Amino acid sequence: MGKNKVVIIGGGVGGLAAACLLAKRGWQVELFEKNDQLGGVFNLDGPSWYMMPDLYERFFEILGEKRADYFGLERLTPSYRVFFEDERVDMYSDLKKDLATFERLEPGVSLKFNKFISQAQKKYALAQAFMFGDYAKLLAPIPFPVFSSMHRYLKKNFQSEKVRQLLSYPYMFLGAAPEEIPALYSFMTYADFGLGVWLPVGGMSKITETLINIGKKYGVTFKTGLEAQKINVRQGVAVSVAFWDSSGNSLEAPADIVISNADIYHTENDLLSVAARSQSADYWNRARTSFPVLLIYLDLSESFPALIYHNLFFGHFPFYVKSEKEQNKLFILVPLVDRCLDKSQYYSVLEEVLSLIEKRTGAHLKEKIVSSKFFGPEDFAQKYHYFRGSALGLAHTLFQTAFLRPSQRSRKLNNLFYVGANTNPGVGVPSCLASAARLCNILNSLAI
């Protein structure tokens, strides 16, 4: 197979990262994005947290670039603010400071917490090895729980419900309840308390902006407003991808390699014939998607000082709030666990959220709202073709973790590959960057 042309479907973080890596290796890369902007769901200005900074540095090292040449970092302090039903707690991602908070919530917890963090650090090393395909490091015996549920693991070690909530908050961004998430994901606790929570100077959009600039530097051709219509296959090989624009005009892009950063369900069921699909209809019927979410955007007449950049509200109705004080904006993510809503019910959710924010902060928010808008499951399905309208894709349950997620390589077409959140290693910006690096390792191993 000649080392010539790569066509990438989708311009999310995974697609952009893969484009940069492959163009640096000398491939002719064309990336096509359905929407008018590159960046995928990043353009929703959502709840992304800049955590695991070492994974970003590793990606840039693989790329042969320095992150610091493109954007600086500032450490958030506090990292995030937590509102329980009866108190507010600031977390600093600083073991000395935060251990005092945990000790107040559960006297005598320090020894157990330090052991928990030590195990989380080892799991983090294990997770990082898997994320970047360093499989030799996965062969050693694992002397701590991995496959037990996060809920069971935390309940065994901690008595305080508040402590357990603080240590399991990442479930909100993994798409399943702690009862369903493997204890392996406690490595995110180490990512929090051991490595900190950061923010690129200029905002999270600096990440996609940087990837686009690096891609252009190495000759990637970016084309927006073109939606993939079909992956054309001949004798078990993807030979081209057909696209159309908003006016219905068609374009065919020949390819030696096709990489899809689009939703895998959409790619398989809408772009491929039945004979070319890796997963059966039964697989997708059984697949567990993450719980749907509702995104709420509020423009305010003035800042709301009760909130910092990252805020978590716990209780029977948990949600997340990002506060951008300089812009007088609030972004709210509401997990719709056990809720099935249509758009007519979004305002009732907003009312419930506003009521809880005002109750927990003691400040009046409603009178500061200038405008509001919503982005729900139907919008995720329409704008991004997300399976079942799920913003977080396949949930990170035990049987959809690691090697049990859809493969990055098609089982039917030897030159079709996948990158991004629904394949390995999973959801999140660092995971999508690692997914691109893993893909390059796969191509190297195949001598492609």
* Confidence class for position 133, pLDDT limits 50, 70, 90: confident
Q: Give tens-digit pLDDT for 317-326.
A: 899 999 987 7
248 within some domain? yes
The pLDDT of residue 26 is 94
Same domain? For 281 and 396 the reply is yes
Mean pLDDT value of segment 28-45? 94
Same domain? For 213 and 273 the reply is yes
Which of 350, 375, 400 is the C-terminal boundary of a domain?
A: 375
Which of 151, 167, 196 is the C-terminal boundary of a domain?
A: 196
Q: Give tens-digit pLDDT for 84-110.
A: 999 999 999 998 899 999 999 999 999
Q: Give tens-digit pLDDT for 428-442.
A: 999 999 999 999 999
Calculate the CA 379 to chain-centre distance: 18
The pLDDT of residue 313 is 96
Query: CA 128 → CA 43, 54, 137, 186, distances in Å?
Result: 27, 10, 10, 13
The pLDDT of residue 240 is 98
Tokens in use for 240?
A: 């081209």
Please determine, for residue 272, whether its predicted confidence score (pLDDT) is greater than 80. Answer: yes
Q: Give tens-digit pLDDT for 205-240.
A: 999 999 999 999 999 999 999 999 999 999 999 999
Per-residue DSSP letters for 435-447? HHHHHHHHHHHTT
Same domain? For 191 and 256 the reply is no
Same domain? For 85 and 141 the reply is yes
Q: Give tens-digit pLDDT for 233-259.
A: 999 999 999 999 988 899 999 999 999
pTM for this predicted structure: 0.94
The pLDDT of residue 399 is 83
Evaluate whether 126 touches 138 at the Cβ level (below 8 Å).
yes
Same domain? For 176 and 221 the reply is no
The pLDDT of residue 135 is 78
383 within some domain? no
CATH of residue 314: 3.30.70
Per-residue DSSP letters for 223-266? EESEEEEEEEEETTEEEEEEEEETTS-EEEEE-SEEEE-S-HHH
- Domains identified in the chain, total number: 3
Which of 196, 224, 253 is the C-terminal boundary of a domain?
A: 196
Mean pLDDT, the chain, rounded, equals 92
Q: Is the dihedral of CA 299, 304, 306, 309 positive or negative?
A: positive
The pLDDT of residue 139 is 64
Q: Give tens-digit pLDDT for 351-381.
A: 999 999 999 999 899 999 999 999 999 999 9
89-103, 185-199, 244-258, 389-403: segment of lowest average pLDDT? 389-403
CATH of residue 411: 3.50.50.60
239 within some domain? yes
220 within some domain? yes
Share of the chain above pLDDT 90, in %: 76
Same domain? For 171 and 222 the reply is no
381 within some domain? no
Mean pLDDT value of segment 111-117? 93
Please determine, for residue 332, whether its predicted confidence score (pLDDT) is greater than 80. Answer: yes
Same domain? For 180 and 113 the reply is yes
Same domain? For 414 and 270 the reply is yes
Give me the domain span that covers residue 116. Answer: 77-196
* Confidence class for position 148, pLDDT limits 50, 70, 90: confident
382 within some domain? no
Same domain? For 186 and 312 the reply is no
Query: CA 99 → CA 71, 103, 107, 108, 295, distances in Å?
Result: 32, 6, 11, 11, 33
* Confidence class for position 2, pLDDT limits 50, 70, 90: very low
* Confidence class for position 1, pLDDT limits 50, 70, 90: very low
Q: What is the dihedral of CA 362, 366, 368, 369, to 10 degrees?
A: 140
Same domain? For 303 and 339 the reply is yes
Same domain? For 394 and 419 the reply is yes
Same domain? For 173 and 210 the reply is no
